[in-house]
Amino acid sequence: MSDEELQRLVECISRDVFHKPFRHHAIFNKRLRTTGGRYKLSNHFIEINPLVIQLYDEDELIGIIKHELCHYHLHIEGRGYKHGDDDFKKLLKSTNSPRHCKPLAERQAKSSVIHIYRCISCGLEYQRRRKMDCRKYRCGKCAGEITKVN
C-alpha cells in the first residue's frame, strides 16, 4: 500500500465513520517502533507504522486509523483529544475504535542474573542484571566493601 492509497483510505474512513472531512496528510512512517500509529499535533499528520500491514489484517489497520482520527477530529474541534479525556473515550466508543493496537515489537525477555557481588565483611551476596562500580557502593547490611565474585 502506498502513501496515496493510505491517504484515500483515511479520507474515506473519516467521511464514512466520523462524517467529517480529513483535510491533512496521512503517511507511513518506518521509524515508528512500538506503536501502530500517531497523530502529530504540530502539523495534523497521521502517521501509520507499515508493520501493521505486514503483521496483521486490514481490520487492525482500520482500527488504528479510526483511533488516530479520534485524536485528529477532537484536536481540530478544540475538545479533549488525549487518552485520558472523557471526550476521547466517548468518541472511541461511539466509533467502535480500539483503545490500543496489537503489539508490533516483541518485548525482550528480562535477562537472568549475570553479575554477582559479595560483601568482604559479612559475605552477603548481591545479584544484579547490570554491572556496578564496586568503588561507589557499600554493603547495605554492614557497610563493608563489595567485590565482584564472577
pLDDT tens figures, 84-98: 999 999 999 999 999
Choosing from 68, 77, 106, 145, which is the catalytic residue?
Answer: 68
pLDDT at 111 > cutoff 80: no
Q: Which domains does the chain have, with CATH numbers?
A: 3-94 (3.30.2010.10), 115-148 (no CATH)
Q: What is the model's pTM?
A: 0.70
CA distance 71 to 64: 11
pLDDT at residue number 150: 76
CA distance 107 to 34: 10
**In the numeric block, which cell numbers belong to residue 72?**
485528529
Strands of the 26-28 sheet, one edge to the other? 26-28, 46-48, 37-39
CA distance 22 to 41: 14
pLDDT (tens digit, 9 = 90+) per residue, 52-88?
A: 988 888 899 999 999 999 999 999 999 999 999 999 9
Average pLDDT score, the chain: 90
Annotation marks residue 68 as catalytic? yes
